[in-house]
Amino acid sequence: MPTTIILGSQWGDEGKGKLTDILCAQAQICARAAGGHNAGHSIKANGVSYDCHLLPSGVVAPNCMNLIGSAVVFHVPSFFKELTDIESKGVKDIRNRILVSDRCHINFDLHAAVDGLEEVELGSNAVGTTKRGIGPCYSTKAARSGVRLAEMFNEELFERKLRQLADGYKKRYGDLLKYDVEEEIARFKQYRVELANYVVDAVAFMQDAQERDAKVLVEGSQALMLDIDYGTYPYVTSSNTCLGGIVSGLGLKRRNIKEVVGVVKAYTTRVGSGSFPTEDTGEVGSKLQQLGGEIGVSTGRKRRCGWLDLVVLRYSCAVNDYDSLNLSKLDVLSSFDKIKIAIAYKDPLTGEELPSFPADHSLLERVEPVYHELPGWNTGIAEVREWSALPKEARDYVEYIEKFVHCKVKWIGTGPDRNDMIYRP
């Protein structure tokens, strides 16, 4: 490889898990850098479906070691539940192939309780979080009051810091906070024993891996448009999902990075609140949702759907500097007579096109997409494995995207299964 990075280029749910699963066959290490169990990566292999939230998708690959990196917020109960769930589907030796950074901040059930209260406080301006404690955990991390996994092994320190956190939230929310700190402390007495074999110094681990040129595959969580700095703030996640967050979250050596791959769905979806310029709330959006099976892996919520937005993808390419793209779920467009692609935004107040993707969310809410229309191909492509076998209209669609964003589409997803992928070297 030696280090390949897979990132989401839109608002998440692009299909990163599938490409990760394919490339894991060649990888020695698969790593997650940031985020938490709010992520949802789906893999379908040999007729079995796997859903990963906190675990890297590489756990399904039998010869791949997996690492949960230092910028991940780590929810212990979810970690053990996922291990058990994946083991129940026949994946062997998984507990010997997963490690967790001792620098991870612990995402307590306390954080989840607070997450729900914060969303209630925001009212109509609620972000639409998964209510799994991700934001509050990153908040305590930034405020330097959080608890790292390394501190868990110092029982007195751990219990003092968790009680202080709980006391602070209790003062703010009073009886609205439904949480028992002593119950969580009691559970961690057992977790402390069970986690001992999984927790490592991830900096030393990655240093050794990179010095010996191990093949490392990094699986990004969420996507660029949910990045805390570059996404559609404030309707974003609480971590850096961009390339920079990957490098810092794992301590990657920049000279070891061989390829950065952006995964982009052939149309656009989003879960939760926030601007979505190409969203279609009518027939097209409903059809995309139904044909694409657009239900969130982590939330179970229906995803909002619309045409592909090349303004977003061009912006994503500018921030993450992709070497190549994986265009996923192209097959979902197979029954459309005409296919639209957004190529610009127009401000209805001025009538002018915007020169770039705006930071001002109020401006983004009112923009009108400018569309380019292409003919559809009206034939199924679910079993197509070669570029030359795609209908000409499908190839034209792919090539239009490439020319617009100046980045090669190297992989094309033509169905849900692991083998439903065209590779263009």
> What is the DSSP secondary-structure string of 238-261?
SS--SHHHHHHHHT--GGGEEEEE
Q: How confident is the model at residue 127 (pLDDT cuts 50, 70, 90)?
A: confident
Q: Which residue has the higher pLDDT, 362 or 45?
A: 362
pLDDT at 299: 66
Q: Which residue has the higher pLDDT, 25 or 126?
A: 25
- Per DSSP, 354 falls in state P
Work out the burial of residue 175: count CB atoms within 10 Å of its CB; fewer than 13 is exposed, 13-18 middle, 19 or more buried.
Answer: exposed
Exposure string over 110-140, b if 16+ CB within 10 A, otherwise e: bbbbbbbbbbeeeeeeebebbbbbbbbbbbb
The counts of H helices and E strands in the chain are: 13, 19
pLDDT at 131: 80
What percent of the chain is predicted at pLDDT more than 70?
A: 98
Name the phi and psi angles at 274, rounded to 5. 115, 160
Q: Residue 133 half-sphere exposure, CB side, CA atoms within 13 Å?
A: 22
The tokens describing 127, both together, are: 């972000």
Residues 157 and 196 sit within 8 Å (Cβ to Cβ): no
Mean per-residue pLDDT, 147-160: 98
Peptide bond into 355 cis (omega under 30): no
- Per DSSP, 154 falls in state S
Mean per-residue pLDDT, 356-368: 96
Q: Is the pLDDT of residue 297 over 80?
A: no
pLDDT at 289: 96
Q: How confident is the model at residue 130 (pLDDT cuts 50, 70, 90)?
A: confident
Mean per-residue pLDDT, 394-421: 96
Residues 381 and 397 sit within 8 Å (Cβ to Cβ): no
Q: Is the pLDDT of residue 28 over 90?
A: yes
pLDDT at 14: 94
Q: Is the pLDDT of residue 219 over 90?
A: yes
Contacts of 241 by beta carbon, 8 Å cutoff, 6+ apart? 7, 8, 34, 35, 220, 221, 222, 223, 224, 226, 227, 228, 231
Provide the CA 313 distance to its chain's centre, in angstroms.
Answer: 16
Question: What integer best gives the mean pLDDT of the chain?
Answer: 94
Q: Is the pLDDT of residue 336 over 70?
A: yes
**197: three-class secondary structure by DSSP:** coil
Mean per-residue pLDDT, 226-232: 97
The tokens describing 382, both together, are: 């679910």
What percent of the chain is predicted at pLDDT more than 90?
A: 83
Give pTM, 2 decimals: 0.93
Residues 32 and 61 sit within 8 Å (Cβ to Cβ): no
Question: Quick one: which of 289, 335, 98 has its CA closest to 199?
Answer: 98
Residues 177 and 170 sit within 8 Å (Cβ to Cβ): yes
Residues 102 and 150 sit within 8 Å (Cβ to Cβ): yes
Q: Is the pLDDT of residue 185 over 90?
A: yes
Which pairs count as long-range contacts for 250-253, CB under 8 Å and 24+ apart, including other chains? 250/31, 250/33, 250/67, 250/69, 250/70, 250/71, 250/202, 250/206, 250/218, 251/70, 251/202, 251/203, 251/206, 251/207, 252/3, 252/206, 252/210, 252/216, 252/218, 253/3, 253/210
Question: What's the rounded Cα separation, in Å, for the pair 12 and 286?
Answer: 19
Q: Is the pLDDT of residue 157 over 80?
A: yes
Q: Which positions are annotated as active-site residues?
A: 13, 41
Mean per-residue pLDDT, 372-376: 98
Q: How far is CA 8 from CA 5, 17, 31, 243, 314, in A?
A: 10, 10, 15, 10, 13
Q: Is the pLDDT of residue 256 over 70?
A: yes
Provide the CA 40 distance to its chain's centre, in angstroms.
Answer: 7
pLDDT at 40: 73
Q: Residue 143's CB: how many other CB atoms inside 10 A?
A: 10
Placement of tokens 């100046």 in the chain: 406
Residues 360 and 347 sit within 8 Å (Cβ to Cβ): no
Contacts of 147 by beta carbon, 8 Å cutoff, 6+ apart? 105, 106, 108, 158, 161, 162, 165
Mean per-residue pLDDT, 246-250: 97
Q: Residue 236's CB: how many other CB atoms inside 10 A?
A: 21
